[in-house]
Amino acid sequence: MKFVHIADMHFDTSFTTLTNRANLGDVRRLDQRQTFKKVINYIKDNKIPYLFIAGDFYEHEYIRLSTIEYINNLFTEIPETQVFISPGNHDPYLKDSFYSKYYWNDNVHIFDAKLSVVELEDVDIYGYGFDDFYYTNHELEGMQLKNPEKLNILIAHGSLNASDTLDRQYNPISEKTIEEKGFDYVALGHIHKTDYNSKENQRIVYPGSTISLGFDELGPHGMIVGDVQKNSIQLEFVPIDDKEFVIKEIDVTEMLDLDELASTINNMDFLNNVYYKISLMGRRNFEIDLYKLNKLIIENNIIKIKDYTKLNYDLEKLSRENTLRGLFVQEIMKKMEENPSDEEVLQNALDIGFEILEK
C-alpha cells in the first residue's frame, strides 16, 4: 500500500521571523502553496492512493477562506486518492473551524476528537484529532484492532513518549502502547523534525514540517513516501521545500571595527534559495551597532543578525584601575591563579560582572 505522509504545513502562519524584511512573510506563504502543489503533483504523477495529513495543516487564527479553497481545489485534482486529515493543536476541529463548516471534496476524510476507523477494502485507517488547542486522548489504551489480518494505519497529531508537563498537554502518545496494538504504520505530526529512520523497520514516523518555518528548523523539509505491507515497509524522505534556513557563525575576535565586519559579511558566498541568520561570536574590540550594520549589508537573504559576542578586555590593565571595576578584576585574577581549573567559570563571572558595572 503506497502513501504520502505530511504534517505541520501551518498554512497562513504569520512568519514573524520574515515579516520585517521586504514582505518575505508574504513570499513564504506563497511558498507554502507551491510546496503543497508539488505534493499533489507527485501524488498524481505516481498514482499514490493515500495522502495522510497529520495535523497543524493550517493556522486556525490566520487561515483565509481563499487558502482553504486553494487547498480543496488541489484535492479535486486527485479524486482517486483518499485524503485523511487528523487536526492538531494549531488547527483543531472546532465548531467554527473550516474542518467543521466547509464543504470538502468527497475524497477528503477529517477525523474528529473521537477515535474512529475508516474500513476500506485493503486497509483500515484509524484516526482522531484535537477539538481544542490542548488535548488529551486515552482511547488508544483501551482499543483493539477490528481486523488484525488487514493493514492497519493510525493517523494522529501528538507528543510521542511525552516526558514534561507541556508536552503532555498535546496528546501524549505512548510508543509502547501503539506498538502493542499492532499498527502497521503510525503517521504522526507535531514534531517538526523528521524521524523515519532512527531504527530498523521503523513504523512510527514523524515527517517533520513540510516547509521550514524558521531558524529552529534547519536542513531539508518535505514528505514521507511509503509502501507498507504486513511483513515489510519501505520509507523515503522526499525534500520538496525549495528553500532552507541556514545559520552562519562569524568570529569577530580579530576584527578592528564595524566596517571590517560588514566587509567580511558582504564578501561571503550566499545561495539564492537560502535564508540566512548571521551569529556574531567571539570577543569584540569595538561596539557592534546592529542597526548600522544592517544598513551596510548588501545581501537580501540575510534575515537576522544576532550578536553573541563578549567584550574583549586587557585584564592586567584593568586590574591597575583605582576603581570598583579594578578591584573586581584583581579579585577574579587572584582566584584564577589559585584555581586554574575554574578559569572558564571565573571568565563567565567576569563577563557578567562587567555587564552589571557598565549599566
**Nearest residue to 135 via CA among 112, 169, 162:** 169
Tens digits of residue pLDDT in 263-282: 999 999 999 889 999 999 99
User: What was the pLDDT predicted at 124?
Assistant: 97
User: What was the pLDDT predicted at 359?
Assistant: 60
Distance CA 3, CA 8 (A): 17
pTM value is 0.86
Distance CA 193, CA 209 (A): 7
Is the separation of the CB atoms in 186 and 179 below 8 Å?
A: no
Tens digits of residue pLDDT in 61-89: 999 999 999 999 999 999 999 999 999 99
User: What was the pLDDT predicted at 300?
Assistant: 84
DSSP-based helix, strand, coil % in the chain, nearest 5: 30, 25, 45
3-state secondary structure (DSSP) of residue 43 = helix
Architecture of domain 2-239: 4-Layer Sandwich (3.60)
Cell triple for 304: 537576522
pLDDT at 19 over 60: no
Confidence of residue 20 (pLDDT cuts 50, 70, 90): low
3-state secondary structure (DSSP) of residue 246 = strand
Kindly report the length of the chain.
Answer: 359
Confidence of residue 135 (pLDDT cuts 50, 70, 90): confident
User: What was the pLDDT predicted at 21?
Assistant: 65
